[in-house]
Structure 1
Amino acid sequence: MRGADAEEHLLRAADELFYREGVRAVGVDAVVGQAGVNKMSLYRRFASKDDLVVAYLARADARFFARFEASLAQHPGEPVKQLNQYFTDLAQRASADDYRGCPFVNVAAEFPDVGHPARLCVMRNKMQLMTRLLELTTAAGADDPAALANALALLIEGVYAASQTYGPGCGPIRAAPQVAAQLIAQACARAP
């Protein structure tokens, strides 16, 4: 198998196994077995399991923001509708039977050291999300854009947690779009 193909197989295996079972629970033997490559192929591409985890999170980050931007693209130039659409889409995604929550939250729970490379990936993802939320709440004309962005981020994290504690499609997840709409409407009541 060519190097690029081996890398893609390894990353697909890591995506599936790390998300479904957790990073710490999955060894490199399981990843190479799932990928159908040998261990040497893994170490030619990734110097360590930590490097594989960082690559896994980079892919998860790209997928997250692709979904986020796809939600917003349904209502170009309408930040209130964009925010509401995102919560509708998030609730639908978090209601899928195979949904295991946010990979970044999952990794943060597994790696308590804030200086670990995986935790740094988590921080970058969450900071980028906060930046996007602040841009949207500002464009929506919120009285206090930062406060609304923080409230919406808390609600997003609540959806992730509820999906794991109450289960996919639970009442708290189904309530999230309505709660978001109320927060947005209240914060943007004076917007033109």
Structure 2
Amino acid sequence: MLTAGDELFSRRGIRAVSVYEVIERSRVARATFYRHFPSKADLVLAFLARREQQWTLGLVKAESERLGDTAEERLLAIFDVFDDWFGGDAFEGCSFISVLLQMGADHPLGSASIGYLENIRAIVREHAEEAGLRDPDGFARSWHILMKGSIVSAHSGASRLRPRIRGHPSRPGRR
């Protein structure tokens, strides 16, 4: 059910997908669906939590830490991760931004999205603190704006950030 919801929500948006479509695609009984997700909002919240695990922690955090030896390199590596993401077949934008824009900041799903976006900014803030920057919170806010802007830009067709933002001579394939 969550996989079906994920596929539908990420391609068509929250408002455009009905519970009936998720039930039909996942091939479960209606009662089974409602036993696990009492409402569509509960399914969307599970979808967002799953996206945080897969995208925020599994891709952005893990890959930037793998690519960067220092805090500064990890910050720059975020855009290398984005560049690979934007150029891949799986790029569909940021679910947190999409849900926030569809539902609005005052809606519980929009509010949840704001929380997930703050978690991404916290990763940036952590790297900024490790780098010894004078204003890690201010830096994280500005860096996060750049991150979100690059996602919106990729949606508009500017999908590649080439040339690479950062390079590391010890990593083959990175400029």
After TM superposition, the score normalised by the length of structure 1 is 0.78
**Which of 105, 115, 129 lines up with 1:138 in the alignment?**
129
CA distance in 1, matches of 2:5, 2:162: 30
Residue 120, structure 1, aligned to residue 108, structure 2: no
Displacement, 1:66? 1.7
Q: Number of aligned pairs?
A: 165
CA distance in 2, matches of 1:47, 1:83: 39
Displaced runs of 4 or more, over 6 A: none
Q: Counterpart of 1:62?
A: 53
Contact 2:19 2:40 in 1 (8 A): yes
Q: Cα RMSD between the aligned structures?
A: 1.9
For residue 141 of structure 2, what is the amino acid of its counterpart?
Answer: N
Indicate whether 1:111 and 2:91 are aligned. no
Question: Is structure 2 residue 78 aligned with structure 1 residue 86?
Answer: yes
TM-score when scaled to structure 2?
0.85
Quick check: which has more Rg, 1 or 2? 1
Question: Is the 1:91–1:159 contact (alpha carbons within 8 Å) kept by the matching residues of 2?
Answer: no
> Which blocks of at least 5 consecutive residues in structure 2 are unaligned?
167-175
* Unaligned ranges ≥5, structure 1: 1-9, 182-192
Q: Give the SS at the match of 2:87.
A: coil
Asked whether the 8 Å contact 1:58–1:121 carries over to 2, the reply is: no
2:60 maps to amino acid:
F
Alpha-carbon offset, residue 28 of structure 1: 1.0
| 1:31 equivalenced with 2:19 (yes/no) | no
Q: Is the 8 A contact 1:137 1:149 kept in 2?
A: yes
Match of 1:147 in 2: 138
What percent identity do the matched residue pairs reach? 27
Partner amino acid, structure 2, of 1:95: G
